[in-house]
Amino acid sequence: MAKYAVYSRDEVVGYSELESGDPPMGVAFGTFTPSNAYITIQRECITNHANQSALKLSVRSEAGVVIQCSGVSILDYSAEADSSLIEVNVLGIPSALYEKLFPEHVIAYARQFN
């Protein structure tokens, strides 16, 4: 599975395989593994799940290409549970791009109806 880099502005704050998704909604999400730079935005990710636009989050493929989307958010519940409970969500990925990046999500979704 591909590994995607999560950026805040021009700094890598973590990684995810974006192992889950909702193809009709253009949503990919997965476990977030923080880098050392995550500490600079962690407080905002813990306290503000509603609007993280000030963090200028983006996700890039292994080739360094920014994934076109409507928004990215990091949901950090580590203060409430354990430190492994951090998720990244990529919302509003155009369908043609979604099918190219996440064919396994599309296949899994289609299997639900067979």
Distance CA 32, CA 13 (A): 10
Report the sign of the C-alpha dihedral through residues 68, 15, 28, 107, in that order. Answer: positive
Q: Strands 86-91, 4-8: parallel, antiparallel or unpaired by DSSP?
A: unpaired
Determine the pLDDT at residue 82. 61
Sheet harboring 86-91: ordered strands across? 20-22, 27-31, 86-91, 71-76
pLDDT tens per residue, range 40-75: 999 999 999 999 999 999 999 999 999 999 999 999
* Closest among 32, 8, 18 to 83, alpha carbons compared: 32
Q: Binning pLDDT at 50, 70 and 90, where does residue 81 land? A: low
Domain that holds residue 92: 4-111
As for how many domains the chain has, the answer is: 1
What global pTM score does this model have? 0.92
